[in-house]
Amino acid sequence: MKHPIPRIRRHAPPDNGGRLLQREVLRLVLHLPFGHRELATPVSHALEVYLRNAGLGADAFTGYSLGEEPMPLDADGWADIRDTLAPPPRDAFLDEQTEESFLKQKMKEQFDRTVELSIGATGVTGYGFFYWARLPWRPPVQDQVSLVSFSWPTEHLEAHGLERMRAEIMELAALLPYVSGHAGLAFSSPNLWGPSMKDLHEEALRYPGLDVTHGQRDLGSRVDGVHWLNFLGPEVLTQVGGAEALRSRLHSPSTSVQPLGGNRAVVALGVEPEAGDLLRGDTLPAYRELAHVLKPWLFPHPEHVSWRDCPPDMARRWWRRFLD
């Protein structure tokens, strides 16, 4: 690869097992404007394709989570995962739920069902799958979306090459009815909604091409930042004026806009994912250009989001790293 990927690893102390807690990965995140009823079959199929293409067997992960505490992953665990991803009953809307305790639990969890795979015997593997299905109200909550993501260790990209890696990402994206999505470098950790930034905030600001979030649950038809590959579904693509209009506003020689079937498109910022490096003056100008073009549709920094035990305003500075 022309642009080296920085190695960023955080381990637990030796007296606490020394397991790998945080690392850099390549991650695909897709935002899906549907509930589990519509997503059960395509998400289950996408998981099978991901495991097969990555060459991962049943022993690739040692633990899994269904929204609760992680559990050991064995044959029974895989059965639990298959049951969780199975289609729901035809009329499984919360509006019709009469058991108050069940309804309160779902409201507290804020998801219909979730599956997470990321942990191996030595900690975070770099491979990962995460699915979060929005609550199944008969009239869906405005802007609330479901999420699915797949990740690979950066060593997978380096071992198999860019052509195969991009083909795997494109195949997965084609299987799912996204409103938007993205693929690029990111941090991975056992913390589902992003790593603890106490020990990572300096790297996050130094390398603007590394994502620190895990997607937005109230995204609607807005865009979740700028990344190496930027997937635009029909509604988002219409908002920005279509693929040709978007292409006409992007002038970086490394940027391409590829129309896809179903009135979708992918904007690629170069042939490979880049981390950038502000200490070396690499500000990722193609990323900044796309951010300014998409500014009216970007998901804004949530005012309630801050990074605990970090300097003030650090989260907002990171969120606007391609705009300011």
> Is residue 230 situated within a structural domain?
yes
Q: How far apart are alpha carbons 166 and 150 in whole angstroms?
A: 13
- Does residue 324 belong to any structural domain of this protein? no
Q: Which residues contact 13 (CB under 8 A, 6 or more apart)?
A: none
pLDDT at 91: 63
pLDDT value at 57 more than 70: yes
Average pLDDT over residues 16-39: 92
Confidence of residue 45 (pLDDT cuts 50, 70, 90): very high
Q: How confident is the model at residue 234 (pLDDT cuts 50, 70, 90)?
A: very high
Cβ–Cβ under 8 Å, residues 62 and 77: no
The residue among 174, 185, 113 whose CA lies nearest residue 147 is 113
Q: What percent of the chain has pLDDT over 90?
A: 67
Count the neighbouring beta carbons within 10 Å of the beta carbon of residue 143. 14
* 38 within a domain of the structure (yes/no): yes
What pLDDT was estimated at residue 292? 98
Q: Which pLDDT tens digit goes with each residue over 141-185?
A: 899 999 999 999 999 999 999 999 999 999 999 999 999 999 999
Smallest Cα–Cα separation from 70: which of 109, 126, 35, 119? 119
Q: Supply the Cα-derived Rg of the chain in whole angstroms.
A: 19
Could you read off the pLDDT of 241-300 as tens digits, one per residue? 999 999 999 999 999 999 998 999 999 999 999 999 999 999 999 999 999 999 999 999
Domain contains 221: yes
Neighbours of 311 (CB within 10 A): 11
Of 4-18, 95-109, 275-289, the one with minimum mean pLDDT is 95-109
Residue 10 in any domain: the answer is: no
Confidence of residue 5 (pLDDT cuts 50, 70, 90): very high
Q: What is the mean pLDDT of residues 221-236?
A: 97
What range does the domain containing 141 cover? 20-319
Rounded to whole angstroms, the Cα distance separating 126 from 54 reads: 12
CA gap 80, 276 in Å, rounded: 41
Res 230 pLDDT > 80: yes
What is the b/e burial string over 155-164, where b = at least 16 CB atoms within 10 angstroms of the residue's CB? ebbeebeeee
Residue 7: inside a domain, yes or no?
Answer: no
Residue 4 domain-assigned (yes or no): no
Which bin fits 61, alpha (ψ -120 to 50), beta or left (φ > 0)?
A: beta
Interatomic CA distance for residues 69 and 278, integer angstroms: 38
- What residue type is assigned to position 56 of the chain? L
Secondary structure (DSSP) of 9-58: EEE--GGGT--EEEEEEEEEEEEESS-HHHHHHHHHHHHHHHHHHHT--T
What's the number of domains the chain is made of? 1
- E-strand spans in the chain? 9-11, 20-32, 63-65, 71-72, 113-120, 123-133, 146-153, 180-188, 229-232, 255-260, 264-269
| Residue 144 belongs to some domain of the structure | yes
Looking at residue 49, its amino acid is V
Q: Is the pLDDT of residue 99 over 90?
A: no
**What pLDDT sits at residue 198?**
81
pLDDT at site 15: 80
Please report the beta strands in 86-206, taking only residues with DSSP state E, as ranges in sequence order: 113-120, 123-133, 146-153, 180-188
In which region does residue 173 sit, left (phi positive, over 0), alpha (psi from -120 to 50) or beta (all else)? alpha
Res 109: pLDDT: 60
Please enumerate, as own/partner, the contacts of 245-250 that have beta carbons within 8 Å and a separation of 24 or more.
Answer: 246/293, 249/293, 250/289, 250/290, 250/293
